[in-house]
């Protein structure tokens, strides 16, 4: 069982409308790398030009925020779920 990456609805248009994708990955960084290789358009929504994760996008491994783990070096194992949770506000912006 590989690592599952859950794609939130604001980003699904840039990921071929997929709700999730699965990859073999040993770290969060590796999984996100696979994700943005497969869906190149996602890259600019997740990362800044110098390759940093955008600050209005949070990433969780299972239920823990990676900022409090090892960030992109957070290890992942088979069956883990990586959630991408962007800031949403509905309505106006």
Q: Which stretch binds another protein (CB under 8 A): 2-10, 26-34, 72-80?
A: 2-10
Distance from the Cα of residue 36 to its chain's centroid: 9
Nearest to 59 by CA among 13, 16, 3: 3
54-83 binders of another protein (CB under 8 A): 54-56, 58, 60, 63-65, 67-68, 83
Verify binding: residue 49, another protein, rule CB under 8 A. Answer: no
In the complex with another protein, the residue whose CB is nearer, 51 or 93, is: 93
Verify binding: residue 9, another protein, rule CB under 8 A. Answer: yes
Verify binding: residue 89, another protein, rule CB under 8 A. Answer: yes
Footprint of another protein (CB under 8 A)? 8-10, 13-14, 19, 41, 45, 54-56, 58, 60, 63-65, 67-68, 83, 85-93
């Amino acid at each position: 069982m590989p690592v599952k990456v859950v794609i939130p609805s604001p980003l699904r248009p840039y990921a071929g409308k997929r709700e999730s994708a699965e990859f073999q990955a040993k770290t969060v960084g590796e999984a996100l790398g696979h994700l943005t290789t497969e869906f190149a358009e996602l890259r600019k929504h997740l990362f800044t030009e110098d390759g940093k994760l955008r600050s209005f996008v949070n990433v969780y491994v299972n239920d823990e925020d990676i900022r409090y783990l090892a960030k992109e070096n957070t290890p992942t194992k088979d069956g883990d779920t990586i959630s991408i949770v962007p800031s949403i506000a509905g309505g106006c912006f």
